[in-house]
Structure 1
């Protein structure tokens, strides 16, 4: 299934659903024009001493969301959790799709496994049994630019190690691969974040939770009902 085009010609990802874990705040990857206009009006109403900074953040948000849309990102959430040192650890959870151009996505991933890419969790791709089917997990530690200004006052941005875990799930309806990715600079907490990654991947579903049992069409839950709350918890 090819992704349809949304407003402005942006291609939307294939439909799938998932749950956001506790401690994560969802970002609106596909904000409406009305929502952006409302944010712009709120920024214009801010005091002059904070308006310029807020405008910079707003412009950055628009650029990042546009880049995510082009890459068929369906969901992005920021996580903040207390660590064992009295501080806070942060992470970014992203869900997106990758098209394999008319190639069976599951066969492609299995071929990678057979070629020796899945020798261990540290060196390659390993299979993960999920409720929606077989997934394939990879993880790595790499260096990337650290946010903020360099502490030494230099011009070159500082770098820091980050842990990145990804679980690829073949879309049973198309030639797409659904990717659940988690990135954190708290490399020492990789075991904990690996569990979070697998927990989110285990909630991925290709069946709309908003559909009533045995129904063939979408059923809109009543506002304020438990059914609406459950639907809003999905991506």
Structure 2
């Protein structure tokens, strides 16, 4: 069964939508408590000088990434590690963000989905989800290079696969954007399926309430978000 994840706009922090996150993904703490940060800082002070400098740089990098994610309205960032056919591991990054629109988010999605259906771009197509109409866009783009260690970028994958699913929020002028990125181009089909599986579990109805309502009924096949999560992730 998937780990259930709830998230919300930064200004309210109340759950506005829910989705399932499959096994193999670890979420970053985008709002680390001040007590935890002070605990880490105190631990750093006890390290030898060289190790303290390295750990301090890592902590500053983490803080910078968290700040950047929050600035871009990212609600979830999860790192995925999965075994591959060669006996090694393949990695990915999954994010969920909210994108405000100037008008109706549903009209924006409908327009993009309609243009995708009629246009020549095979990288975007309309998508029918249990929570509503959306669209799937995917592309391959050059991988970002390290400015500190450019020599390491040559050995790494030169391109990444990026898949994006966007769905209109029902009660706010926002798009819910799910995005999957991986440097493993050979596994793009697998990661597309994972992204679509997560998108199919997206719901704007609290699953806890749905489960409570199901318990009051006669036993039957699961429906709604719980059924989507079970079908997509077991």
- Please report the TM-score for the alignment, with normalisation by the length of structure 2: 0.76
1: CA distance, partners of 2:120 / 2:24: 26
- Provide the secondary structure at the position in 1 that maps to 2:21: coil
Q: Which runs of 5+ in 2 are unaligned?
A: 1-7, 214-234
Contact 2:114 2:126 in 1 (8 A): no
2: CA distance, partners of 1:24 / 1:46: 30
- Provide the secondary structure at the position in 2 that maps to 1:108: helix
Judged with a 3 Å threshold, the aligned counterparts in structure 2 of structure 1 residues 121 and 162 are, in CA distance, closer, same or farther, namely: farther
Mean CA deviation greater in 180-189 or 25-34 = 25-34
Name the residue aligned to 1:131. 130
2: CA distance, partners of 1:3 / 1:118: 30
- Aligned-residue offset at 1:176: 0.3
2: CA distance, partners of 1:123 / 1:25: 31
2: CA distance, partners of 1:28 / 1:108: 31
Name the residue aligned to 1:230. none
- 1:1-235 superposed matches below 5 A: 3=9, 5=11, 15-101=16-102, 103-115=103-115, 117-119=116-118, 123-147=122-146, 149-151=149-151, 160-211=158-209, 213=212
Judged with a 3 Å threshold, the aligned counterparts in structure 2 of structure 1 residues 118 and 19 are, in CA distance, closer, same or farther, namely: same
Contact 1:74 1:96 in 2 (8 A): yes
Q: Deviations over 1:19-57 (max 9, x none)?
A: 221111110112222222222223333444432222111
Name the residue aligned to 1:233. none
- Aligned-residue offset at 1:186: 0.4
- Aligned-residue offset at 1:210: 4.3
RMSD: 2.9
Contact 1:14 1:97 in 2 (8 A): no
Name the residue aligned to 2:225. none
Name the residue aligned to 1:222. none
Contact 1:162 1:185 in 2 (8 A): yes
Judged with a 3 Å threshold, the aligned counterparts in structure 2 of structure 1 residues 159 and 82 are, in CA distance, closer, same or farther, namely: closer
- Please report the TM-score for the alignment, with normalisation by the length of structure 1: 0.76
Q: Which runs of 5+ in 1 are unaligned?
A: 7-11, 215-235
- Aligned-residue offset at 1:95: 0.3
Structure having the larger proportion of residues in helix: 2
Query: How many residue pairs align between the two structures?
Result: 204
Q: Deviations over 1:126-170 (max 9, x none)?
A: 122222222210000000224572337x9x998720000000011
Judged with a 3 Å threshold, the aligned counterparts in structure 2 of structure 1 residues 126 and 33 are, in CA distance, closer, same or farther, namely: same
- Provide the secondary structure at the position in 1 that maps to 2:140: strand
